[in-house]
């Protein structure tokens, strides 16, 4: 039996046709799932009993099982288990007027960033469309009130390495019959896979959402050391692609920069970063994320003075930048479990 949430609306209509159901029934079911978050065919009361039976014989919900929920003052971390017993992490961030959800797109990650806890186990597999969208559905079902308005693909994994499934999720999210989220409220965070960025630039659906790229270093050598994947996805190529990426009006690309003591946090590094951005200041903003020490990783957090000195250089060059200190907001900082791991430590500290 297949998961009904594997399909954007167009594909679901085709599946319904195969089963001898009128395609408009797909719209009805889609609305139950993504407008009312009803994941039980028996409760879809505008469908006849016969239809409900047929659907429940062919489709099911929830490829993920909720294992745990840990609450901190401004975030909730959810742990899910897949049917093949992998753990998926999702973080809900509470903001003043709304919620933001940080979803995972893979189990593990192949990019191998040396500062990221997800990289330690390598890539296990891609998450399916249903497994990604189920993170949203189950967290939304868990909330007493309010809707998740923002989604960031910044959990475990490299979303552009799971392009097709992530695109289907985006389609469900932006569909007016689906979650109906604004494209501006969805962010794909990537380590910068050149071929996939080029694909995204040509893709009418994907190029409309926000793009965040983990930069983390300002020379090819330093970047390769932190992010082994960049040996074949060079800094030069990356900046070329980003400088010509077709951005929607008033949109900017976020460059994520994890500040690590003695590695990439000097004033000289900041000057080089400004030079790298060059004349394209209006196209980029920089998120500076002070590294949070992890017992499994060999790096340290810079001092406050060094962070501020770095920031001052960017301001001097007129480059828009933010330092992400707050627990919840920090999750926006860079891709991967770096943040969720960090959050986990903080949450554990908070509940002890
Ligand atoms: S930081 Fe992101 S891209 Fe790098 S290993 Fe971690 S999850 Fe993968």
Question: Is domain 65-351 given the CATH code 3.40.50.800 in the classification?
Answer: no
Q: Where in the chain is the domain with CATH 1.10.150.530?
A: 2-60
What separation in Å is there between the alpha carbon of 155 and the centre of ligand 1?
A: 9
Which atom of ligand 1 is found nearest the CA of 119? Answer: 5
What separation in Å is there between the alpha carbon of 181 and the centre of ligand 1?
A: 26
What separation in Å is there between the alpha carbon of 61 and the centre of ligand 1?
A: 29
pLDDT at 110: 87
Question: Is 75 in contact with 90 (CB distance < 8 Å)?
Answer: no
Helix, strand and coil in the chain, % to nearest 5 = 45, 20, 35
Question: Is 100 in contact with 152 (CB distance < 8 Å)?
Answer: yes
Measured between alpha carbons, how far is 120 from 109 in angstroms, rounded to an integer? 9
Which atom of ligand 1 is found nearest the CA of 334? Answer: 1
Mutate to test the pocket of ligand 1, among 191, 224, 343 (most ligand atoms within 8 A of CB): 191
What separation in Å is there between the alpha carbon of 341 and the centre of ligand 1?
A: 12
Measured between alpha carbons, how far is 312 from 255 in angstroms, rounded to an integer? 17
Catalytic residue among 89, 131, 208, 330: 89
Mutate to test the pocket of ligand 1, among 103, 106, 111, 256 (most ligand atoms within 8 A of CB): 111
∠ Cα 304 321 200 (to 5°): 130
Identify the helix (H) or strand (E) that includes residue 172. helix 163-174
| CATH class entry, domain 2-60 | mainly alpha
Per-residue pLDDT of the chain (352 residues; tens, 9 = 90+): 999 999 999 999 999 999 999 999 999 999 999 999 999 999 999 999 999 999 999 999 999 999 999 888 888 989 999 999 999 999 999 888 899 999 999 999 888 888 887 777 789 999 999 999 999 999 999 998 889 999 999 989 999 999 999 999 999 999 999 999 999 999 999 999 999 999 999 999 999 999 999 999 999 999 999 998 889 999 999 999 999 999 999 899 999 999 999 999 999 999 999 999 999 999 999 999 998 877 778 899 999 999 999 999 999 999 999 998 644 434 433 444 344 444 444 444 332 2
∠ Cα 221 294 284 (to 5°): 50
89 is a catalytic site residue:
yes
Which atom of ligand 1 is found nearest the CA of 112? Answer: 5
pTM over 0.85, yes/no: yes
Q: Which of 82, 76, 40 is nearest to 61 (CA)?
A: 40
Q: Which residues line ligand 1 (CB under 6 A)?
A: 109, 111-113, 116, 118-119, 156-158, 191, 334-338
Mutate to test the pocket of ligand 1, among 105, 110, 112, 113 (most ligand atoms within 8 A of CB): 113
What separation in Å is there between the alpha carbon of 288 and the centre of ligand 1?
A: 16
Measured between alpha carbons, how far is 38 from 31 in angstroms, rounded to an integer? 9
Q: Where in the chain is the domain with CATH 3.20.20.70?
A: 65-351
Catalytic residue among 113, 158, 335, 346: 335
Question: Is 70 in contact with 347 (CB distance < 8 Å)?
Answer: yes
What separation in Å is there between the alpha carbon of 119 and the centre of ligand 1?
A: 6
335 is a catalytic site residue:
yes
């Amino acid at each position: 039996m297949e998961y009904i949430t594997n399909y954007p609306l167009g594909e679901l209509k085709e599946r319904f046709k195969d089963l001898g159901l009128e395609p408009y029934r797909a719209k009805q079911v889609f609305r139950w799932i993504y407008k009312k978050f009803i994941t039980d065919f028996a409760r879809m009361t505008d469908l006849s009993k016969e239809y409900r039976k047929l659907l429940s014989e062919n489709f099911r919900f929830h490829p993920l099982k909720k294992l745990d929920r840990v609450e901190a003052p401004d975030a909730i971390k959810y742990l899910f288990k897949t049917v093949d017993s992998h753990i998926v992490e999702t973080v809900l961030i509470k903001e003043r007027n709304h919620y933001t959800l940080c979803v995972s797109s893979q189990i593990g990650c192949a990019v191998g960033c040396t500062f990221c806890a997800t990289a330690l186990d390598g890539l296990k597999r891609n998450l399916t469309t249903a497994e990604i969208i189920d993170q949203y559905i189950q967290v939304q079902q868990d909330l007493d009130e309010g809707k998740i308005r923002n989604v960031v693909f910044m959990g475990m994994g490299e979303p552009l390495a799971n392009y097709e499934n992530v695109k289907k999720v985006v389609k469900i999210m932006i569909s007016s019959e689906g979650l109906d989220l604004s494209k501006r409220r969805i962010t794909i965070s990537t380590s910068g896979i050149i071929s996939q960025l080029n694909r995204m630039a040509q893709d009418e659906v994907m190029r409309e959402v926000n793009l965040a790229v983990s930069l983390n270093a300002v020379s090819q050598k330093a970047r390769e050391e932190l992010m082994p994947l960049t040996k074949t996805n060079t800094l030069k190529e990356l900046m070329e692609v980003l400088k010509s990426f077709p951005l929607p009006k008033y949109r900017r690309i976020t460059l994520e920069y994890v500040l690590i003591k003695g590695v990439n946090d000097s004033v000289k590094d900041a000057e080089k970063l400004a030079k790298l951005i060059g004349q394209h200041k209006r196209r980029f903003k920089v998120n500076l994320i002070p590294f949070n020490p992890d017992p499994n990783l060999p790096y340290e957090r810079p001092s406050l003075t060094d962070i501020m000195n770095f920031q001052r250089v960017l301001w001097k060059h007129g480059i828009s930048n933010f330092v992400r200190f707050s627990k919840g907001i920090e999750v926006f900082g860079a891709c991967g479990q770096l943040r969720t791991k960090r959050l986990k430590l903080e949450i554990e500290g908070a509940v002890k």
